[in-house]
């Protein structure tokens, strides 16, 4: 079977991508330093521990597996930390990605599927976002991802590399079979934090700001189920295999939910109350991020089948109750 190198394959989205790749007939080769990923999440193909900042280690892995393509998920991604420690994000995300791209080009692996983010757009008031919206990131996380996109375009011009770039919105949910799921230390994502609060694993969920210019005062985000998201990545891989060249796609549903709406829907799914407190805004948070693009549907044939809020919470709750990688 065809080998695909999956950086960050021990993480939340990467592990789901590995499962989807295996189901599609590929062999996912996980490359991960396990700083934020989990060894127990690597279940669907070989594992190679290493860091993107270690070029020699990357060269070894490319030589060993001769992957046909790279799916690049590995990155630091906490907005709050990125505001406080921008150098960490520039060093890890940008320098690491440069190492990866140069190693791939040297090995003749010229197809890359890149995990970017809607955070590259920044905060555009009352605008639904498509692929042509100006990229004005508010923090080093979004800025680092935008820079990697530019880097990929430069290597396309110099070496013939082709990249499918996915800018996606808030990823949620978990594998319906609960083989893999979402678990971070520290946890920063809304739905797992909310489920921890429901389950008594934390005293309360902190809602970061209730004075935004939205109907209920809390931030609005477009949520996409992780399984729908990784299905798009497999379609992106096939796009490159078919020689269709580089392309950018937003991945979102076009529907926004406020933090308070997510809390309310979680009550309906779990039949439990969500304890929460109102805290200050987090620096770097945009008011509203919602996709206005239909490009992925029109060109890739991608349809998000599981991306209703109730389904995302239900799948995440099933995973939450099944046990985590540290248990």
User: Residue 229: which CATH number?
Assistant: 3.40.50.720
Sign of the CA dihedral with 119 first, then 121, 123, and 129 last: negative
Work out the number of other CB atoms within 10 angstroms of the CB of residue 201. 12
Q: What is the pLDDT of residues 145-192, one digit of tens each?
A: 999 999 999 999 999 999 999 999 999 999 999 999 988 777 788 998
CA distances from 249 to 99, 183, 280, 296 (A): 24, 26, 33, 6
* 264 and 240 within one domain: no
Query: Is there a catalytic annotation at residue 141?
Result: yes
* 31 and 122 within one domain: yes
Q: Using alpha carbons only, how large is the chain's radius of gyration in Å?
A: 19
CATH code of 307's domain: 3.90.25.10
Burial pattern 110-137, b for ≥16 Cβ within 10 A else e, equals: bbbbbbbbbbbbbebeeebbebebebeb
Averaged pLDDT of the chain: 93
* 305 and 216 within one domain: yes
Pairwise CA distance, residues 38 & 33, whole Å: 9
Percent of the chain with pLDDT over 90: 81
* 49 and 166 within one domain: yes
Pairwise CA distance, residues 100 & 322, whole Å: 35
What confidence score (pLDDT) does residue 127 get? 74
The conformation of residue 11, written as its DSSP 8-state character, comes to: S
- Half-sphere exposure (Cβ direction) of 163: Cα atoms closer than 13 Å: 24
* Catalytic position from the list 65, 89, 121, 141: 141
What confidence score (pLDDT) does residue 225 get? 97
* 258 and 167 within one domain: no
* 200 and 237 within one domain: no
Q: How confident is the model at residue 126 (pLDDT cuts 50, 70, 90)?
A: low
What value does the mean pLDDT take over residues 219-248? 97
> Into how many domains does the chain fold?
2
* 194 and 92 within one domain: no
Domain with 104 in it: 3-172+223-251
* 64 and 29 within one domain: yes
In the predicted structure, residue 129 carries a pLDDT above the cut 70 = yes
* 119 and 242 within one domain: yes
Work out the number of other CB atoms within 10 angstroms of the CB of residue 185. 10
Pairwise CA distance, residues 154 & 167, whole Å: 18
Q: What is the pLDDT of residues 12-42, one digit of tens each?
A: 999 999 999 999 999 999 999 999 899 999 9
* 208 and 63 within one domain: no
């Amino acid at each position: 079977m065809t080998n695909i190198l999956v950086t960050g394959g021990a993480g939340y989205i990467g592990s789901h991508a590995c499962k989807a790749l295996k189901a599609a007939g590929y062999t996912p080769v996980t490359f991960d330093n396990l700083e934020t990923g989990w060894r127990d999440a690597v279940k669907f193909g070989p594992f190679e521990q290493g860091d993107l900042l270690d070029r020699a280690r990357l060269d070894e892995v490319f030589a060993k597996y001769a992957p046909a393509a790279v799916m690049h998920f590995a990155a630091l991604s906490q907005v709050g930390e990125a505001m406080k420690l921008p150098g960490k994000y520039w060093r890890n995300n940008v320098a690491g990605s440069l190492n990866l791209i140069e190693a791939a080009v040297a090995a003749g692996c010229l197809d890359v599927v890149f995990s970017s983010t809607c955070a590259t757009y920044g905060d555009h008031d009352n605008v639904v976002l498509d692929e042509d919206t100006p990229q004005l990131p508010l923090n080093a996380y979004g800025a680092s991802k935008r820079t990697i996109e530019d880097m990929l375009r430069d290597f396309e011009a110099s070496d013939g590399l082709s990249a499918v770039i996915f800018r996606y919105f808030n990823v949620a949910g978990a594998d319906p079979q609960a083989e893999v799921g979402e678990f971070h230390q520290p946890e920063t994502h809304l739905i797992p934090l909310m489920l921890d609060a429901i389950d008594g694993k934390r005293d309360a969920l902190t809602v970061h700001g209730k004075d935004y210019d939205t109907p209920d005062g809390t931030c609005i985000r477009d949520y996409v189920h992780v399984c729908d998201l990784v299905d798009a990545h497999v379609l992106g891989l096939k796009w490159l295999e078919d020689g269709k060249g580089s392309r950018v796609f937003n991945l979102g549903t076009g529907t926004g939910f406020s933090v308070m709406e997510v809390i309310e829907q979680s009550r309906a799914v779990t039949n439990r109350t969500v304890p929460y407190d109102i805290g200050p805004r987090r620096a770097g948070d945009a008011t509203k991020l919602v996709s206005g693009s239909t490009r992925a549907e029109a060109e890739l044939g991608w349809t998000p089948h599981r991306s209703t809020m109730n389904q995302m919470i239900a799948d995440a709750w099933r995973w939450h109750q099944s046990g985590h990688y540290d248990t």
